[in-house]
A and B are shown apart, each in its own frame.
Chain A
Amino acid sequence: MPACARSRCCRWQPARSTTTLARRRPSRSAPLDAQARGWSLAAAGACLLPLLLQLPGTLALGLALAGSVATAASRRRPLPAALRLVLSLALVAVVLANARFAFGRDTGCALLAAMLALKPMELATLRDARSLLGFALFAPFATFLLDQGPLSLVLGLGAAVLVLAALLRLSEMESGEPEVLAPAPRLARVLRLVAIGLPLALAAFWLFPRMATPLWGVPERVIARPGLSDTMAPGEWLDLMNDDSVALRVAFDGPAPPTSEMYWRGPVLWNYDGREWTTSPWFRGLPAAPVTHGPRRYRYDLEVEATDRRQLVALELPTEVPDGAQASIDHMLRTERPLSATTRWRMTSAAPVAFEPDLRGTLRAAALRLPDGFNPRTIALARDWRAQAGSGNDAAIVERALAWIGAEFGYTLSTPLPGRHAVDEFLFDQKQGFCEHFSSAFVVLMRAAGVPARVVTGYAGGYRNPFGGYWIVRRSDAHAWAEVWLPGRGWVRVDPTAAVAPERIYDTLADRASGGPAGLRALAPMYDVGDWMRRGWNDLVLGFDAARQQRLLRPLGGGDLGSSQLVALFALIGGAALAAMLWLVARGERERDPVLRAWHRLGARYARLGLGRRPHETADAWSARVLALRPQSTALVALSARFAEWRYARGRGGDARTLVHDLRAHRP
């Protein structure tokens, strides 16, 4: 062999030409195989499902249909770009038209759903599949912004797991491995990944700094969910009265008030235009009126389900305004931002003894104002009553009205649409209606008789869940009653509906179920347990906010932690978790046998002197070589011999422990 044969000049490396650099990763644009395509579509569909469930039914159905047709049509080859564009624009137009071009959170989510439904049209390559899956992950996120119920949660998290499984398949395809896993082991592998990441995720969940105030506003839904509003027109609450979902959950510290005293006071309505009652924006800025509370105080935690509105209710009457809410002059609570998620409020209430005993002139005028030209028969009757009672005997007029209503009126949810003189029709013709009719007519009657009065809306009653010992107030418990101002006592609650149908107001689930089929009654305990679990979930996860986080950390850190300290704590714990993972990783590589480990370390110490053991050298050959170069290394020769004995003639090298100790102790 020529001398230069192995020299550098004769070697060459495979050329990396620039033309081939362009196709360095040809696999990224590789066409999808049937498996990968199936997984990607299934995962995207699973992501879309919970979002569709939150959209209006016809729109959801239309989107699902359009999506499946477009996907099926582009199965063999992608549709032409122009057609895709037209389809997308058409679908966007349909969604916007469906929302009447009002832009809110639900419209945005519907648009996202539309885009996601059409995205599989261009599913051809690995890259397309990944962008589809990344995009699809936004769908569960959007779903949670609309709804945090258990169904959405289960479907959303399940869909995320499916997305991960699809990613796993894509990565397998990319690596060129021909073997394909069955669905069950694939899901098992994904779940294992999630499970390993779970401790870190949970630590982050509890410790991640929460923002007490949002960075940007929360867009509201265009179509709000039923809940209390600032207006009330008799007859329009029917969908609210039929909605059996939970509005409030209340846990009392100590005994609860009797059901007949559970008036959850919400918006106070002053203005009447002949048809509709509204709150008075003029009074919102005024400071709360003075109240003397009674001696019996109730402390409770109020958990309010999302309504997307700002009206907050409280047991009559709260002694102080909770943080994040404001009270107007009539002690109506409004929150600083919409209740778009489940929120918890800590409150104390006590029944009022004297509520604004001195009524200002302007307020008095507002509480007596009636629109001109409405309800002449009612006004005539009220003037008649006033004339009979004489001035200054307001309480007698109230009594008389209640007696009349209790004697002659009936409760029903089926009422005809009111005409122009709604109160006249109700009081003199129909004599049947529900809380809105009663309270509205009563207040008109009082005002006409010269008694200051206003309508109050909120919830009445509640049902005690025996499992959690807390109270449930449903949306169907929405109620309207009246407050009249009496000299010396101030505002006094009067509930004309209670004079007619008290059972309707203070009912319990058992009362209601007794009217229904027997099967419903048997289901009641299951419902109780379900709601109790739901409340636990709310308590543990949904209602976990900045304040709760502080409360959780208080026993650990003493005082309140600032958000920078929280970040530091989170970084500390997260870092520790990561370090533990890395340690486990490094540990896996470690030599298991302690003797070998010590032997290798010894070799590493000599390697620092340039006398490391070469891979092909035996222990004896190495120690002999070292001895030749370093005459003082006689101890190494003996150690090497012992090591060789131990390693290759087990049992004759002496105790492994002492050998390890000696190997470790030896220094070159």
Chain B
Amino acid sequence: MAGLRARLEALARPRRPESFPVTFDRRRIYVLPTAFGAFFVALLVVMLLGALNYNNNPALLLALLLAGAGNTSLLVAHLQLSGLRIVAVEAEPVPAGTPLLLRVHARAEPGRTRRGLRVEAGDAQAVLSLRGGAGEARLALPTQRRGWLQPGRLRISTTRPLGLARAWAYAWPADDVLVYPRPETDDPPLPHGHGDNARARLQPTGDDVHHLRAYRRGDARRAIAWKPSARRDTLLVREYEQPQGADVVLDWLALAPLAYEDRIARLARWVDQAEREGRRWRLQLAQQPAIGPGRGAAHRHACLRALALLPLATGAEHNDLG
């Protein structure tokens, strides 16, 4: 059953990823009865046979009216999708393990109401309703590994208006979305910085606290000042003097004792940490030019992207790259 389904799906257009925007036309919209539709057809057949046998014209008229309405509902289901344009698919990268919010943007001529279309990718589902000719569906795709994520064929379907038939079309985005590496869960301390201001490197356990500020999401648990927090009844975080010019070097080679993926996780964690603490950092990966030094969102994304795109290790290669 599942094999047959897969084979049937392989026959459906599009057969390979395609560049967006795509417009659904009759060549790529499929309509098949739902289970309830099949039941409805059986019901009508019984009614027709009974009506003809008893030469009962009102019953025949009833069956034919229902059949006519059912047939129209097939066309209406088709029209729900026909002319629909999937403009783009995009997503903010997220660390592996957290759901990726895939946004599917659709447009259509505003004349026709298109409500309650269902967008599916794998097991993720979302509702797409077009208002004024534009609509957006947000699919939460599960992520497990870093790297390029191919969202796969998106299925846009509807069983409207009567639930008798499902009309669907596939859209297969060629653009992959990126999944960042899963950061390490403990808080490894950032390595010592290099440069002129290296001595200004703050000591998290030291006394030179600049001031306390309110807890923000993502702050290291280690930075929480527990005693002042208990006194003020709110979570406070020590804010250290900003180290000027103390560039942190996040070096792949320096993490030699760790396993391959663990190194990536540690580096990902450090990138986030350095960004949060407002430090400048440089990411040095093996056999690649160094990224940075720099700071800010763009730099962080560049570093995480480089980490995400490190080749996936297979057994033997584990430490060779290091």
Contact = CB atoms under 8 A, between A and B. Distances in A.
Given A177-B116, A177-B127, A201 B67 contact: yes
B279 to A, nearest CB: 25
B56 A145 contact: yes
A176 interface: yes
B64 interface: yes
A541 B57 contact: yes
A148 B163 CA distance: 30
A589 B145 CA distance: 41
Contact of A214 (B55, B69, B288): B55
A134 B40 CA distance: 7
A200 B68 contact: yes
B63 A141 contact: yes
Q: Most chain-B Cβ atoms within 10 A of its Cβ — which of A6, A164, A211, A340? A: A164
Interface string B268-308: 00000000000000000000100000000000000000100
A284 interface: no
Interface in B17-38: 19, 25-26, 36
Interface in B35-67: 36, 39-40, 43, 47-67
A148 B52 contact: no
A120 to B, nearest CB: 18
Interface in A534-578: 541-546, 578
Given A14-B121, A14-B152, A167-B163, A205 B311 contact: no
Interface in A176-212: 176-177, 179, 189-190, 193-194, 196-198, 200-202, 204-205, 208, 210-211
B94 interface: no
Contacts of A20: 123
Given A2-B310, A175-B118, A200-B68, A589 B54 contact: no
A21 B6 CA distance: 13
Interface stretch (A87-95, A153-161, A232-240, A447-455): A153-161
B79 A215 contact: no
Contacts, number: 217
A160 B68 CA distance: 12
A200 B71 contact: yes
A144 interface: yes
B68 A201 contact: yes
B73 interface: yes
Contact of A130 (B36, B117, B127): B36
B4 interface: no
Interface stretch (B154-162, B226-234, B244-252): B154-162
B123 A140 contact: no
A629 to B, nearest CB: 22
B183 interface: no
A216 interface: yes
A415 interface: no
Nearest to A105: B54
Interface SS majority for chain A = helix
Interface stretch (A429-437, A480-488, A496-504, A580-588): A580-588
A1 B309 contact: yes
Contacts of A214: 53-55
B159 A11 contact: no
A167 B162 contact: yes
Interface string A333-355: 00000001100000000000000
B65 A197 contact: yes
Given A164-B69, A167-B162, A589-B83, A148 B64 contact: no
B150 A12 contact: yes
Given A198-B65, A585-B82, A137 B149 contact: no
B190 to A, nearest CB: 26
A200 B65 CA distance: 9
A218 B59 CA distance: 15
Given A156-B58, A205-B61, A340-B54, A172 B160 contact: yes
A76 interface: no
B256 interface: no
Contacts of A145: 50, 54, 56, 59
Interface residues of A, number: 77
A194 B73 CA distance: 9
Interface in B234-271: none
A141 B83 CA distance: 39
A24 interface: yes
B166 to A, nearest CB: 10
B152 A175 contact: no
Q: Most chain-A Cβ atoms within 10 A of its Cβ — which of B2, B124, B148, B162? A: B162
A174 B159 contact: yes
B107 interface: no
B75 A581 contact: yes
Contact of A208 (B58, B60, B117, B144): B60
B65 A542 contact: no
A171 B77 CA distance: 11
B142 interface: yes
Contacts of B26: 585-586, 589
A138 interface: yes
B122 interface: yes
Contacts of A340: 54
Contact of B118 (A6, A176, A341): A176
B312 A10 contact: yes
B69 to A, nearest CB: 5
B61 A541 contact: yes
B56 A341 contact: yes
Nearest to A159: B62
Contacts of B117: 175
Contacts of B52: 208, 210-211
A578 B47 CA distance: 22
Contacts of B78: 585
Nearest to A199: B68
Contact of B145 (A2, A5, A12): A12
Given A193-B69, A588-B83, A204 B64 contact: yes
Contacts of B75: 196, 581, 585
Contact of A218 (B48, B54, B79, B82): B54
B66 A153 contact: no
Nearest to B122: A14
Contacts of A15: 122, 142, 144
B173 interface: no
Contacts of A118: none
Contacts of A177: 115-116, 127, 129
Nearest to A24: B123
Contacts of A190: 69
B50 to A, nearest CB: 7
B193 interface: no
B176 interface: yes
A202 B145 CA distance: 59
Contact of A5 (B2, B25, B309): B309
Contacts of B164: 167
Contact of A21 (B2, B56, B309): B2
Contacts of B121: 14
A4 B311 contact: yes
Q: Most chain-A Cβ atoms within 10 A of its Cβ — which of B53, B54, B71? A: B54
22 contacts: A9-B312, A11-B150, A14-B141, A14-B143, A14-B149, A24-B123, A134-B36, A141-B51, A153-B58, A156-B58, A160-B62, A164-B69, A171-B162, A175-B160, A176-B118, A177-B127, A193-B72, A198-B65, A202-B64, A214-B53, A218-B53, A585-B79
6 shortest interchain CB distances as A-B pairs:
A197-B68, A175-B116, A177-B116, A201-B68, A171-B163, A201-B64
Interface of A: 1-2, 4-6, 9-16, 20-21, 23-24, 130-131, 134, 137-138, 140-141, 144-145, 148, 152-153, 156-157, 160, 164, 167-168, 170-172, 174-177, 179, 189-190, 193-194, 196-198, 200-202, 204-205, 208, 210-211, 214-216, 218, 340-341, 541-546, 578, 581, 585-586, 588-589, 615
Interface of B: 2, 19, 25-26, 36, 39-40, 43, 47-73, 75-76, 78-79, 82-83, 115-118, 121-124, 127, 129, 141-145, 147-152, 158-164, 176, 288, 306, 309-312
